[in-house]
Amino acid sequence: MADTEVDELCTRIYQQHKRALDLIYEGAIPVVRTRGSSDNPSSGK
């Protein structure tokens, strides 16, 4: 997939889901951390 296609897709996704994404970024919805995350103490890092 070309960079321009990715940019267009990201823009379209953001436009369609702006409110939900903004809530996630603002921390209104807890984000579950995945294993291996650099700030996850159980990852062993």
36's tokens: 């291996």
∠ CA 19-7-16 to the nearest 5 degrees? 25
Which pLDDT belongs to residue 31?
62
31's tokens: 């984000």
Which pLDDT belongs to residue 26?
81
Q: What is the pLDDT of residues 1-45, one digit of tens each?
A: 789 999 999 999 999 999 998 888 887 666 666 665 555 455 444
Which pLDDT belongs to residue 35?
63
